[in-house]
């Protein structure tokens, strides 16, 4: 295979933000594609912590990635190099002598750290936060390729991110399982589903898993509309209901339910399922149970579709470097994997368009959105 840059070319791989099934498949494809070009590959531990906080890594914050290390990992969840959603180098939380906290830019240290390790190029696998960091590094002269990852599917510029399909498959299976127990006990089952400020996972799983109501952040809900749906089902002799609630869903005029917000970290969303379940039980008089799928959506083995997408992204990232590209993100635009400027991916969040075909499908089938 060709190599348009001098060898041995040293590529570092970083995985940042919440993990998503398929990260290891990206790593495997990138490492094999690089090694097969005669290049060397390294993994930065836990996002960029392996470089920014080297004392935490007595055995090395930057580790060689060999063929042996990536053997058999296509089907493995998580990430073999570790990840974190703390310590964004653009807004690194730092304690001052008086005990107060500030955020400071540590990207210059990161650029130096990469140079100290003799790294020629970086592959940054992550969500919007990681793409923002990658864009900043590219501006400082680092050769960098972004690879989009998130179960939330909320990144602009790519039709899909790996991890999403696996999360939807698991959430759908969960809804399927809850149908029978809901029916047996004549209960309402409320299922809270991750996705941050986007309702993609709840929408897709909700339709595929035959939820009767789906509440998503893009459509603020009126609980009385959900109560009416439950009653309408009772009129038809269906004494149970399944309500899929995206964690970012909010009532009309209300706010996203946030569990905590720590400096240097994205806010932790959750709790809306509990509120919806309590209100539904109170307003319908029907016994209601809550299931929070939480991090189960991020675990386990990636679906074949996510594996393939992740492998394609990993190989495409190395191909981009071989072509001399930088400052871009690989993106799916079926049937091809293309490259887009990193800035394009972080311009805005990709939300569910209320008039998209999937939404219309759900509405035409009588699924309630609480509006």
Closest CA to 321 of 79, 1, 80, 92: 1
Q: Which residue is nearest to ligand F6P (CB)?
A: 194
CA pair distance 317, 335, nearest whole angstrom: 17
**One of 152, 154, 165, 306 is an active-site residue; which one?**
152
Sign of CA dihedral 5, 11, 14, 20: positive
Shortest separation between residue 297's beta carbon and ligand F6P, angstroms: 7
Shortest separation between residue 294's beta carbon and ligand F6P, angstroms: 8
Shortest separation between residue 137's beta carbon and ligand F6P, angstroms: 21
Query: Quick check: helix, strand or coil at residue 296?
Result: helix
Shortest separation between residue 209's beta carbon and ligand F6P, angstroms: 18
- The backbone region for 294, taken as left when phi is positive above 0, alpha when psi lies in -120 to 50, beta otherwise, is left
Between residues 149 and 319, which has the closer beta carbon with respect to ligand F6P? 149
Shortest separation between residue 357's beta carbon and ligand F6P, angstroms: 24
Closest CA to 194 of 171, 228, 212: 171
DSSP 301: P
Helices (H), the chain: 23-35, 49-52, 107-116, 128-139, 164-185, 200-208, 223-235, 272-284, 304-322, 342-346, 357-364
**Residues making contact with ligand F6P (CB under 6 A):** 18, 85, 150-152, 194-196, 247, 268-269, 298
Between residues 34 and 202, which has the closer beta carbon with respect to ligand F6P? 202
Structure-block tokens of residue 276: 């919806």
Number of neighbours of residue 30 by Cβ within 10 angstroms: 29
CA pair distance 119, 93, nearest whole angstrom: 26
CA pair distance 319, 296, nearest whole angstrom: 33
> Is 152 among the catalytic positions?
yes
Strand pairing report for 213-215 and 241-246: parallel
Shortest separation between residue 141's beta carbon and ligand F6P, angstroms: 29
Shortest separation between residue 201's beta carbon and ligand F6P, angstroms: 8
Between residues 49 and 194, which has the closer beta carbon with respect to ligand F6P? 194
Contact 351, 218 (CB under 8 A): yes
Closest CA to 174 of 296, 78, 75: 296
Between residues 111 and 167, which has the closer beta carbon with respect to ligand F6P? 167
Structure-block tokens of residue 304: 């074949």
Between residues 40 and 218, which has the closer beta carbon with respect to ligand F6P? 218
Burial class (CB in 10 A: 0-12, 13-18, 19+), 266: middle
Between residues 46 and 152, which has the closer beta carbon with respect to ligand F6P? 152
Between residues 43 and 217, which has the closer beta carbon with respect to ligand F6P? 217
Burial class (CB in 10 A: 0-12, 13-18, 19+), 56: exposed
Residues involved in catalysis: 152
């Amino acid at each position: 295979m060709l190599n348009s840059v001098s060898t041995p070319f040293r590529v570092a791989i970083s995985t940042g933000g919440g993990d998503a099934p398929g990260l290891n498949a990206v790593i495997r494809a990138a490492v094999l594609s690089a090694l097969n070009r005669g290049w060397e590959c390294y993994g930065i531990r836990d996002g960029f912590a392996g470089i920014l906080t080297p004392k935490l890594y007595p055995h090395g914050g930057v580790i060689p990635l060999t063929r042996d290390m990536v053997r058999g990992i296509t089907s493995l969840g998580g990430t073999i190099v570790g990840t974190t959603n703390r310590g964004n180098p653009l807004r690194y939380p730092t304690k001052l002598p008086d005990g107060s906290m500030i955020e400071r830019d540590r990207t210059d240290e990161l650029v130096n750290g990469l140079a100290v390790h003799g790294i020629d190029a970086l592959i940054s696998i992550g969500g919007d936060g990681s793409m923002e960091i990658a864009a900043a590094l590219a501006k400082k002269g680092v050769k960098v390729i972004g690879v989009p990852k998130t179960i939330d599917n909320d990144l602009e510029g790519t039709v899909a991110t790996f991890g999403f399909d696996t999360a939807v498959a698991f959430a759908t299976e969960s809804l399927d399982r809850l149908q029978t127990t809901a029916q047996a006990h004549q209960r309402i089952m409320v299922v809270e589903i991750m996705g941050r400020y986007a309702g993609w996972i709840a929408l897709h799983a909700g339709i595929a898993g035959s939820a009767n109501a789906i509440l998503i952040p893009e459509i603020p809900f009126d609980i009385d509309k959900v109560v009416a749906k439950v009653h309408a089902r009772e009129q038809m002799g269906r004494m149970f209901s399944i309500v899929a609630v995206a964690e970012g869903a909010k009532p009309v005029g209300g706010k996203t339910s946030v569990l905590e917000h720590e400096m240097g970290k994205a806010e932790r969303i959750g709790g809306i399922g509990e509120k919806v379940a309590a209100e539904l039980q109170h307003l319908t008089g029907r016994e209601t149970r809550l299931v929070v799928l939480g991090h189960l959506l991020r675990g386990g083995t990636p679906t074949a579709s996510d594996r393939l997408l992740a492998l394609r992204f990993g190989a495409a990232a190395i191909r981009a470097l071989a072509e001399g590209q930088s400052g871009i993100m690989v993106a799916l635009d079926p049937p091809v994997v293309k490259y887009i400027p990193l800035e394009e991916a972080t311009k805005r969040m990709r939300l569910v368009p209320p008039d998209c075909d999937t939404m219309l499908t759900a509405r035409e089938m009588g699924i309630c959105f609480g509006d």
